[in-house]
Structure 1
Amino acid sequence: MLGAEYDNVLAALRHLCDTGDADGAIGLTVDLAWYWEMLGRHADATYWLTKAVALPHERPTAPPNALPDGAREAPPAESPGVRRVIAEGLLLLGTVAPQGALINDSFEERREELWALIDRLLNGPGAPGFGAVLTAVRLASLEASEASRTITRRLAGGTDVWLAGLAHLFQARSAENEGHLDQARSDVTAALDRFRQVGDRWGLATALPLRALLRQYDGDLDGALADLGEAKRLAREFGSLSLSDEVFIELRWIDLHVHLDETARAGELIAAARERALRSASPELTILLDAREAALRTLTGELDRARELVESAEAGLSEQHPFGGDHGRAMVGVVRGALDLELGNGPAAEETLGRAYAAAVESKDLPMVATVAVAVAGLAALYGLYGDAAVVLGAAARLRGAHDRTDRQVRTLSDRARAALGGGRFDEAYESGWRMDAPTAVTRADPARLRRPPADAPPPA
């Protein structure tokens, strides 16, 4: 395996850089890129790509051609000039989107650079090779635009089975992020079929957690657990997933046990993940685990411990780690808001959830906005505004694309609102939120839209 010879390969790469062999260094870094990504060696990738790309070279010109219809079964060998553009694209990927579920805010600042690279990769002389197409589609997947959708659609219908699987996986993630779960189910099934066809365990281990989330939304918690178990087994077979992918599996695993009301087991899993976090020295993982455990401790009534954990997560965000983008601020803000609600502090929860809502909207992640919306429904219930709570719960379901009635907080709030309003009025209010289009549902989730009761009003029954 490459892992056994990794030090020797790096020694060769160092020699190529030290002797100024630009083409050799670029070629080896591009060959190593997928290995680095699969195992989460992003620091190595960024370091060596930066050194290789910085070596003096002569840039070839690339006349424009039409976009490809898909990768060829036997793509042509890529010229040194094309491989340099691939390396530049890979370096840009590591700069604007540190690998993980969270997209860095700097993407907006470098959109033109990104699309210029995509154009050079796809529109160079001759048909683009495998590496060029792979890098282009990964770059394009960072933005949900019609141009990026066109590229992934063409690859999904192309003749290269593995690239088609990857394109379907990107489409599934985008559809889930936009609350289009029927499309996400179709694409993740197609991705799994293609990865099985070519025998790619990495692809299967990467796609299965997304199918597990969709099964959770459908109420199939046993099926979701089975998918996560298979993903972990496959990852052990080929070595490991990247840290971000491993964290995604761990968080899904923890959430499923909370959905099953197995909070003790969820706590054990968090403790085990913390052991790994200590070994990895990853501040992002620590923030995630602090926030997730704070949510769990709030749920189980251990509020002092929950406060300690959420303060730790907030401190981590303030240190400007890569995790501290809009998505991270929204996630930690929701946890703080849930704690404020449990303490009965409506004004503090309103302020915290207002910030979380703004961050979630900026993240353009509709499931994250849905998570904030559920907490906003909790704020409405605290104020006795059960009609608003029902509408916002329906809007949250619309944003995530599913009702997710296995979620403990959703069940509790729905039961409270139904008891206060009566079944008919609750169903009508909830349905009005569920029928909203996405922009309206996003607006309705804003805590500022709640009719906060006056300070001298009696507490709700």
Structure 2
Amino acid sequence: MLGDVRVAVLGPLRLTDTADQEIEVGGPRLRMLLVRLALEANRIVPTEALIDSLWGTQPPVDATNALQSLVSRLRKTGLAKRIESYPAGYSLAATEVDVDTFERLAAEGGRLLKQNDVVQAAEVLTRALDLWRGPALVDVADAPFTAAAVARLAEVRLTALEDRIEADIRRGHEVIVELQALAREHPLRERLTALLIRALRKAGRQADALAAYETARQNLATELGVDPSPELQEAHLALLRSTPAEVPNNGSRLPAQLTSFVGRGQELSELEGMLARDRLITLVGPGGAGKTRLATEAASRTVDRVWFVHLAGLREAVDVPAALVTELGLGDPAVTENPRSWHRSVDVTTRLLDALEDRSELIVLDNCEHVVSAVAHLTETLLAGCPRLRILTTSREPLAITGETLFPVGPLELPEENASARQAVERAAVRLFLDRARSVRPGFTVDESNVVDVVSICRQLDGLPLALELAAARLRSMTVGQVAERLDDRFRLLAGGSRTSLPRHQTLGAVVEWSWSLLTEAEQTLASRLSVFANPSTLDAITAVCADDRLPAHDVLYVLASLVEKSLVEAGEGPDGPPRYRMLQTIKAFAAERLVDTERVMTRFAGWVMAATEHADPLLRGPDQVQWLRMLDAERENVVAAVRYAVDRGDAETSYRIVHSWAWYWLVRQGIFGETLTEQILPIGRMLQIEDRAPQHTVVLIRMLSVLGGVEEPRWHEIARIVELCRAGYEKASPLTVLMEATGLGMLGDFAAAGVAFRRALRNPDPWARASVVLGGAIMAENLGQVEQSMRWHTAAIRRFRKIGDRWGLAMALNALAVHRSTMGDMAGAIELHTEARMLELELGQLPDPAMTSSRLAEQYYRLGDLDRARSELERLVTLTVENGQRAVTMAVLVRLSLVARASGDLAGAWAHVAAARRELRHWPENLSDPFSGWIGIAEGLLLVSEGDLARAKAVVAEALEVTTSGIGYITEARRDLQKNRLIAAEALEAFQQGAIYMRDAQGIADVGECLAVVVAAEGDLTAAARILGASAAIAGALDVGSPENRALLDKFGPAEHEILAAARKLPPDEAIVVLKQGVSAPPAETP
């Protein structure tokens, strides 16, 4: 990729290279061209538009040549590789332009302001405004195109400036002088006047604020003949309603803050609204969630006097009223030196009631959890006797009194696990970590080199502000990667907080220890046992695993509810109905260290998982499939944890039974999670080491899953072992293993034996197993090029799965039949089938969108010629699949986008999509990459044909053919192993050699052949093209008449070519392959 060239036009024109060295651009017209291209960098600017922009209504006689001359001169400045030529125009590529950066930052700052994140908004907007070095486009001010661009940029700049000033006002910064100057410069700009009025009012300068409004009103009336806007009128009304008491110096006693307030703009806005209408609000949440800071920020925005009372240092409940009296200054100093003695002689509560009875004030009671009962009684008494009083409390559990409004304070918003740097910094947890990190390491940024570690830190620490601040403080002596790597030992790592903080806020362990010390013995017992759950879990599951003589089953619900009240456990809605309960990772880690009977509890946990998955397994293949898929989705991490535990203990029965009952779920869901069994889900390798202690029918399944799951390139002795086990009769133990023998034989190339195995499997008593056998037979027939039989079997599978109620099998069959329909030219029928399949996949919960089916739908629109609709859908899918990490689907979408772009005449766009697909391919496992590599090669070949580079086109197609045909069925290894494998007879080798070409991907080979036919036809040899196209149809089993490229070829053919095509369609598969290989090696036909 080219390094960044930077173009700056927000001030004098400045062009710099990758080393930040300035590049001289001489001549006014040349500067105009550079600026015009820069304003639409990385996009094609049409030739006509450039001519209009440079010469306006007086272009030169040969404007096109004049433009080309300017482009050549501009390329000589060092931009030769940057300025790209297209049939329709020119583009300045791989370039960073300050206008784009400014507009992006201005929009981001406006978004943050709307979310009430004023600190981050001010920072982003300041960065945006700092990009301006003078008037925009000043070097080309006389160019025909500049007036509109300058006006637009000036408006964006002024809006960004207003947003930054509003953010400063809301965070208490001085802006009056700046606003007065701007109001004089823009007397008709009403938002500036409204902001000036607001700033003056907050400073207590009501008279000046009224004068500013009157000046603006007169200007509007004189210059425009209009009244003030609603925004300006609202500022005026707010001014009239206010009193001098609204000035900040209201006698409040709030703790001063030394750090910026980051990440809770929305919560702050909501809390401000609640304080205006509710008299008792409790901020409730776990330790370290930021309750105190949020309460302080909200209290600082009220017009009432605020009293802030720290309760954390109190040891006993009787001290609560005295603490409040002391803070309010109501006691005699001579007496209050011993507050508890004073309490015995004076009715403290009465003194408080007398003092607060007629006062409109706000009291903040911070850290109430250890004296919650006393706080509840005092609060209820004060609110009943003081009608204008409001109280805001922070606690890890509610006060639980009438009139209390709870405001939960949970973790900060987390980034997605695979978030990019730009996506990550939009999340509150990352912004807080970034802000605190810069305090100890100035200049620290989140970029692509460290975003994985930053996201990991934020997610592992649950987005808890205190934990993030402690982690950021570690950057004084560690890299962000070192911090992320050590979070398994988080309590040792995060033990260096501020020396002036309360002791229980100086370390992460102390924060949790404070909460733990307030629990009863039963609560501590249940909390420690809950730590074995990896997923949020139901009450039934928790009871099954955690209840015993020490914690009776009938008590679990009540103890669990108490943990929820005390913010040690969170309760949320479950996908399967009942609520689910979870611990934050930090609390779970602390609780796990205090679990005294770990092995016994984990054994019960693994047993419960085994029972749950065995119960759910058969229900995944019927009408209640969606419900049970969601249930297992919710238990997924629990299953992983249970299997790992059982395998680590060498418990073959438990581990294999869980995997056996969970296998079908994984096969259905693997497209969502995109994980291999060994890497994320199941330790297959270690499981096979205890194979001799496991049921053999389960071993069959595990071995086949290791092949299907991409654990490693399939080894033929491994597949032969599967076949051997199946032939011994173990396939009868489970519906899921019914297909294993036939599938294994098919992968070995013994199709005759595979057919016998399929017919035997059709006698299985399980309806779902029989439907799956029909679907498997249809897929094998398709791979054998037996299209008509494949269509019949897919139709039968659809009927069977529809009757059973299995949406997954039905969607699979519908999609496959849709492809056949499209091949026959029935794109409307294909769309109908794909649409139904897509709806079924949505019901199953295939991510936000079943992307592969959606991309197939888009392909049908392409085949119908509806390019705009195809492009729109595919562009949406690129963004979606990249965000979801679906690399295989992303590659398919990008290749389809390249075909659409080529058909639209956008060859540059098509090449960009192909290049992106190639980049995605580099991340794909090598043993699974061949089909995608072949498909990308087809797209490249077609593009080269469009550009007239037929030699390169044929070379690319030759490589694609080699990729899709070499290693078919891993032929080299097969020839070595099959001959000595005792399970496979000698005739099986012959069958393999003749037929195994289909097991790799018959349709993929045929697709390459069709592309080759296009290349050869472009060379002028229609006879050879017809033969190649017919051979491709012989391999696939049908001629794809839905393909626009094939239809174009058929239109070119005369009667003779059609006869050749028909004859080639009858070729045996091995001869058809020879035709294709001869086609890529034949020299181009001589032109008469």
8 Å contact from structure 2 (residues 722, 740) kept in 1: no
Q: In structure 1, what is the Cα distance between the partners aligned to 2:795 and 2:700? A: 32
Q: 1:164 to 1:117 in 2, by over 3 A?
A: same
Partner in structure 1 of residue 961 of structure 2 = 357
Residue 298 in structure 1 maps to residue 902 in structure 2 = yes
CA displacement, residues 254-277 of structure 1 (integer Å, 9 cap, x when unaligned): 221111111111111211211221
Q: CA RMSD in A?
A: 2.8
**Equivalent in 808, 828, 846 of residue 240 of structure 1:** 846
Alpha-carbon offset, residue 59 of structure 1: 1.3
- Residues 428/7 of structure 1: CA separation in 2 closer, same or farther (3 Å cut): closer
Residue in structure 2 matching 1:366, options 973, 989, 1002:
1002
State the partner residue of 2:1037: 401
Distance in 2, matches of 1:10 and 1:113, equals 25
Deviations 1:78-133 (A, max 9, x none): x7454344323322332368xxxxxxxx23xx111111123124415795443443
> Aligned AA for 1:6?
R
C-alpha distance 392-242 of structure 1, shift in aligned 2 (>3 A)? farther
Aligned residue in 2 for 1:205: 811
- Residues 228 and 452 of structure 1: CA distance in aligned 2, closer, same or farther (over 3 Å): same
- 1:192 maps to 2:776: no
Q: Please state whether the residue corresponding to 1:215 is helix, strand or coil.
A: helix
- Residues 162-212 of structure 1, C-alpha deviations (whole Å, 9 max, x = no match): 111111111111222222111101211221122123221111011100111
Aligned to 1:156: 762
Residues 742 and 755 in structure 2, CA contact (< 8 A), matched pair in contact too = no
Tell me the alpha carbon deviations over residues 382-423 of structure 1, each in whole angstroms, 9 at most, x when there is no partner: 21112222222222222222233232111112222x3xxxx3
Among candidates 1066, 1070, 1074, match of residue 435 of structure 1: 1066
Q: Distance in 2 between matches of 1:251 and 1:145?
A: 34
Matching of residue 412 in structure 1 with residue 1027 in structure 2: no
Measured in 1, the distance between the counterparts of 2:695 and 2:1082 equals: 60
Q: Mean Cα displacement is larger for which, 84-93 or 195-204?
A: 84-93
In 1, distance between residues paired with 2:1055 and 2:735? 57
Residue identity matched to 1:16 = A
Q: Does 1:25 align with 2:631?
A: no
* SS of equivalent residue, structure 1 residue 43: coil
| Whole-Å separation in 1 of the counterparts to 2:731 and 2:1062 | 54
- % same residue: 27
Would the alpha carbon gap of residues 86 and 174 (structure 1) be closer, same or farther in structure 2, given more than 3 Å must change?
A: closer
**C-alpha distance in 1 between matches for 2:1055 and 2:698:** 63
Deviation at 1:437, TM superposition (A): 2.3
1:86 is aligned to 701
- AA aligned to 1:196 is R
Distance in 2 (alpha carbons) for counterparts of 1:117 and 1:242: 36
More deviation, 303-312/16-25: 16-25
- 8 A Cα contact 2:736 2:769, kept in partner: no
**754, 762, 777: which one aligns with 1:171:** 777
Does structure 1 residue 59 correspond to structure 2 residue 664?
no
Query: Matched residue of 1:301: which SS?
Result: coil
Give the number of aligned pairs. 421
Q: Corresponding residue for 1:448?
A: 1080
1:111 to 703, 712, 716: 716
TM-score for both structures, normalised by structure 1: 0.82
2:725 maps to: 120
Which one of the candidate residues 214, 222, 226 is aligned to 2:820? 214
Partner Cα separation in structure 2 for residue 343 and residue 203 of structure 1 = 43
Alignment partner, residue 337 of structure 1: 941
- Name the stretch that deviates more: 143-152 or 353-362: 143-152
**Corresponding residue of 2:682:** 49
Check if 1:308 corresponds to 2:912: yes
**8 Å CA contact 1:122, 1:128 repeated in 2:** no
- Structure 2: where are the runs of 5+ without partners? 1-630, 969-996
Describe the shift of the 1:96–1:190 C-alpha distance in structure 2 as closer, same or farther (beyond 3 A). Answer: farther
Structure (1 or 2) with the larger CA radius of gyration: 2
Asked if the contact 1:399/1:438 (under 8 Å) is kept, the reply is yes
Give the residue type in structure 1 aligned to 2:738: V
Q: CA deviation at 1:236?
A: 1.8
Q: Which one-letter code corresponds to 1:92 in the other structure?
A: V
Partner of 2:666 in structure 1? 36
Q: Given that residues 287 and 313 in structure 1 are in contact (C-alpha distance below 8 angstroms), is that contact kept between their aligned partners in structure 2?
A: yes
Q: Which has the higher contact order (CA 8 A, sep 6+)?
A: 1
**Equivalent AA in structure 2 for residue 391 of structure 1:** R
Tell me the CA shift for residue 333 of structure 1. Answer: 0.9
Deviations 1:326-369 (A, max 9, x none): 32221111111111110000111111111112122235322222
Taking structure 1 as reference, are residues 324 and 401 closer, same or farther at Cα in structure 2, changes over 3 Å only? same
Asked whether the equivalents of residues 89 and 136 of structure 1 are also in contact (C-alpha less than 8 Å), the reply is no
Is 1:39–1:242's contact at 8 Å kept on the other side of the alignment? no
Whose helix proportion is higher, 1 or 2?
Answer: 1
Moved more, 330-339 or 387-396: 387-396
Distance 1:345 1:48, change over 3 A: closer
Distance of 1:126 and 1:233 partners within structure 2: 33
Q: Which moved more, 1:328-337 or 1:435-444?
A: 435-444
Could you tell me whether the CA contact under 8 Å between 1:188 and 1:211 is conserved in 2?
yes
Q: Report the CA distance shift for 1:451/1:157 in structure 2 as closer, same or farther (over 3 A).
A: farther
Contact 2:691 2:699 in 1 (8 A): no
Q: 1:381 to 1:231 in 2, by over 3 A?
A: same
CA distance in 2, matches of 1:218, 1:126: 37
> Hey, what does 1:392 align to over in structure 2?
1028
Tell me what 1:73 maps to.
none
Contact 2:838 2:854 in 1 (8 A): no
The change in CA–CA distance for 1:385 and 1:247 in structure 2 (over 3 A counts) is same
Q: Distance in 1 between matches of 2:1057 and 2:651?
A: 70
Partners of 1:127 and 1:171 in 2: how far apart? 18
- Asked whether the equivalents of residues 38 and 242 of structure 1 are also in contact (C-alpha less than 8 Å), the reply is no
CA contact (8 A) 2:732 2:738 kept: no
Render the CA deviation track for 1:22-61: whole Å, top value 9, x for unaligned: 311221122111111111145274344326843864716x
Higher alpha-carbon deviation: 254-263 or 292-301: 292-301
Report if aligned partners of 2:802, 2:810 keep a CA contact under 8 Å in 1: yes
Aligned AA (1:93): L
Distance 1:453 1:56 in 2: 60
In 2, Cα distance between the equivalents of 1:121 and 1:199? 28
